[in-house]
Chains A and B, each alone.
Chain A
């Protein structure tokens, strides 16, 4: 018990340090780190948090989060831009933001309703098909995008954000604030009656159903909330990137988000940002590498790192952390146990 409180204290201290570093980021780190690595960490972390929320509290591993974030990005792009590709509606940025979030949340509700009766690996597959449908939809229906995508979105961002190219620090702080708020929201939801029921549904759907809870309804609502969170990430993404195209939400993007979530740890919400950070850093710094015998490029290294993580620590980096504390608690004796089972996510 004492170790548990020590662990919690350490985690809080680390979080405080991380927040302090993040807040003073633009003054300590160089411009590339602020504008590219850290801002991207915050926004990809939000997207990954939507995935981890579903997996940790709902027992559903969803591959549709990238599609949802893309829908928000495309919706905003179509509504806000005044020239170029897409519908170019040229509406007010604030109205467009609200509408984009609404549209994505609604789509999330529909997707969630359709897949609410699936669980485990079937749920994974059906969410993958959403991802493919979204990718083809935005590629082929040229009136809303086309394969080149929509650009110039950052030029129409609200004034407190500004254009990312000119002053990345504004977007950095916006992303940071949204990330913190999302984290707080999801932690809060966990302790609400809905959140508790959701965790019950995750662990014992049959028992919950016999107690009168509607399992599909809870899953649908959880998916809708995750869609809402993903939409925030999508909006931040198009402000950061300035443009969005169907390849962002293709198979590669979907797998990348899954890698981020697994890297950070599917069992803990904090894993979202930890995973995003490590993924972005590895992608950036492991380049120009020559693998001696097997050949191949840095893509092989990323694959190997991912493989190593999944084999050695299926709970990702946050799982490593939990297990280290588990060791301390037990004084080093006893078998290892993963903090969260990565068996069937919900009964198959």
Chain B
């Protein structure tokens, strides 16, 4: 016995190993035969990396839909990842088999997807969260026609425009769609005629910027300078230096995320002095997804590109949606249910629930039964219904925003309502057109379907006035 004690460094690990080995051996031999009839659902999101904080909000959004529409019982209202039981759709029990832990990269996304779909044998995936992940999952989905994938909140164009597998659905707009209307607001309300744009040098940066550029140039604006700092730049001073000075350009569009949002604005402040909110417009990173808290106080008064959601919108449908989430997961995402992280995952789950109901629990009919229209909380057009186009991509209303201050409280409010924004942006983005990139799209004047039709939204109410 003393010999064992003396060599504990050897014995302990060996003992643990032996135990682990036996556990694993049983797992490996388990046949992957059919179980009792149940539908297995996996939710894929990020738990590490840039969007790691989206883990609980995403899962909470999706599970709230399950709780509301299919009898799910919340295990822990403060921690959505604790799971949910008791979900039944069309009489078939539905089990949430696991949550994917991505880190905003395609490599991890694929590993997690395989783990969820092949090891845990999920039939349906709700997710993923980010653009590059969705591209990887879309390619994977093409090879797995029997499974269904409902995108969580990824903003890349390719999954539905280029790859477009028949078993993949997206009930929200992509990164370019989210920015519809912001260019026109800059042109008409702020009088911008030329602008510079700063974008992260990677796919989401290009896609989001594409929406802004397309919108601004379509109405006659000119983008005079495009700057693309690489990802993981720590010091933006030299990139900001490439921008035209505030007196030689009307405004700046910012499409920089992660730690770059604060760093790039600070670099601008340190180069040109105090930031004039009338000269700066950001994409959704100014108002959502983490960096908002840091930069919002600096840019109070700036307009911000939307996320397909309407914070503070006072329609019955919006309030109903927010009430549902508040009921099952009060305080989720700090009470901010208008964050796309919550809203888009909610709609993805809701779409799936309706699809499975229509298919009567039969998975083989699920892809065909997935709804082509979805009543969504912040949707207003066509009686508040989002429609899917031929690529199963949503045509969604968009809501440009503004950062305002009420006394001491800073918040984001909707200032515009852009009806029915489609992925092609009025024919600009097609399967054969060059994808958004450093120089694409070019700055062209065009008639977009929503040009001149953006309604003014004041105090959460959509007025009949059009933005002039």
Residue positions of A touching B, CB distance < 8 A: 28-33, 35-37, 136, 139-140, 142, 146-149, 151-152, 163, 165-166, 241-245, 247-248, 250, 252-253, 281, 284-285, 287-288, 297-299, 308-309, 312-313, 317, 320, 323-324, 327, 332, 336
Cβ contacts under 8 Å, B140 to chain A = 242
**Are B106 and A243 touching (Cβ within 8 A)?**
yes
In the bound complex, CA of A35 to CA of B111 (Å): 12
Chain B: residues with Cβ within 8 Å of the partner, total of: 48
**Are A139 and B115 touching (Cβ within 8 A)?**
no
Partner of A142, one of B101, B135, B437: B437
**Are B105 and A250 touching (Cβ within 8 A)?**
yes
**Are B118 and A32 touching (Cβ within 8 A)?**
yes
**Are A149 and B136 touching (Cβ within 8 A)?**
yes
In the bound complex, CA of A163 to CA of B136 (Å): 17
Question: Residue of A at shortest CB range from B231?
Answer: A139
**Are A165 and B144 touching (Cβ within 8 A)?**
yes
B24 at interface, CB cutoff 8 A:
yes
Cβ contacts under 8 Å, B442 to chain A = none
**Are B107 and A248 touching (Cβ within 8 A)?**
yes
In the bound complex, CA of A31 to CA of B24 (Å): 15
- B30, B31, B135, B437 pick with most chain A CB within 10 angstroms: B135
In the bound complex, CA of A298 to CA of B48 (Å): 11
Query: Which of B5-13, B290-298, B415-423, B443-451 is found at the contact surface with chain A?
Result: B5-13
Assess A30 versus B107: contact at CB under 8 Å? Given A308-B13, A327-B7: no
**Are B437 and A312 touching (Cβ within 8 A)?**
no
Cβ contacts under 8 Å, B107 to chain A = 149, 244-245, 247-248, 253
Considering only residues 145-167 of chain B, those with a C-beta below 8 Å from chain A are: 156, 158
Measured CB to CB, the closest approach of chain B to A83, in angstroms, equals: 9
Cβ contacts under 8 Å, A241 to chain B = 110
**Are B143 and A242 touching (Cβ within 8 A)?**
yes
In the bound complex, CA of A28 to CA of B32 (Å): 12
B375 at interface, CB cutoff 8 A:
no
Cβ contacts under 8 Å, B174 to chain A = none
Measured CB to CB, the closest approach of chain A to B103, in angstroms, equals: 7
Considering only residues 96-148 of chain B, those with a C-beta below 8 Å from chain A are: 98-99, 101, 103, 105-108, 110, 114-115, 118-119, 121, 131-132, 135-136, 139-140, 143-144
Partner of B136, one of A140, A243, A317, A323: A243
B202 at interface, CB cutoff 8 A:
yes
**Are B106 and A36 touching (Cβ within 8 A)?**
no
**Are B27 and A285 touching (Cβ within 8 A)?**
yes
In the bound complex, CA of A302 to CA of B437 (Å): 38
**Are A247 and B105 touching (Cβ within 8 A)?**
yes
**Are B230 and A151 touching (Cβ within 8 A)?**
no
Measured CB to CB, the closest approach of chain B to A166, in angstroms, equals: 8
Partner of A245, one of B106, B143, B231: B106
Measured CB to CB, the closest approach of chain B to A5, in angstroms, equals: 22
**Are A148 and B106 touching (Cβ within 8 A)?**
yes
B201 at interface, CB cutoff 8 A:
yes
B45 at interface, CB cutoff 8 A:
no
Considering only residues 162-206 of chain B, those with a C-beta below 8 Å from chain A are: 201-203
Cβ contacts under 8 Å, A32 to chain B = 32, 118-119, 121
Question: Residue of A at shortest CB range from B232?
Answer: A136
B29 at interface, CB cutoff 8 A:
yes
Cβ contacts under 8 Å, A252 to chain B = 103, 105, 108
Partner of B143, one of A30, A165, A299: A165
B326 at interface, CB cutoff 8 A:
no
**Are B203 and A336 touching (Cβ within 8 A)?**
no
Cβ contacts under 8 Å, B27 to chain A = 285
Cβ contacts under 8 Å, B3 to chain A = 332
Question: Residue of B at shortest CB range from A35?
Answer: B118
Cβ contacts under 8 Å, A323 to chain B = 10
Cβ contacts under 8 Å, A142 to chain B = 437
B248 at interface, CB cutoff 8 A:
no
**Are A324 and B32 touching (Cβ within 8 A)?**
no
In the bound complex, CA of A75 to CA of B3 (Å): 55
- B47, B105, B158, B201 pick with most chain A CB within 10 angstroms: B105
B28 at interface, CB cutoff 8 A:
yes
In the bound complex, CA of A281 to CA of B144 (Å): 24
In the bound complex, CA of A267 to CA of B251 (Å): 60
**Are A336 and B143 touching (Cβ within 8 A)?**
no
- A147, A284, A312 pick with most chain B CB within 10 angstroms: A147
Residue contacts A-B, CB under 8 angstroms, 27 given: A30-B29, A31-B32, A32-B119, A33-B28, A140-B201, A142-B437, A146-B202, A148-B106, A148-B132, A148-B136, A148-B156, A149-B132, A151-B135, A163-B143, A243-B110, A244-B107, A250-B105, A252-B108, A281-B24, A285-B23, A288-B98, A297-B101, A312-B9, A312-B13, A320-B13, A323-B10, A336-B10
Question: Residue of B at shortest CB range from A148?
Answer: B135
Measured CB to CB, the closest approach of chain A to B266, in angstroms, equals: 24
Considering only residues 239-285 of chain B, those with a C-beta below 8 Å from chain A are: none
**Are A242 and B119 touching (Cβ within 8 A)?**
no
Cβ contacts under 8 Å, A29 to chain B = 28-29
Cβ contacts under 8 Å, B101 to chain A = 287, 297-298
**Are B10 and A147 touching (Cβ within 8 A)?**
no
In the bound complex, CA of A324 to CA of B47 (Å): 39
**Are B98 and A245 touching (Cβ within 8 A)?**
no
User: Known pairs A147-B202, A149-B136, A309-B13. 12 more at Cβ < 8 A?
Assistant: A30-B32, A31-B32, A139-B231, A147-B106, A151-B139, A166-B143, A243-B136, A247-B105, A252-B105, A284-B115, A336-B7, A336-B9
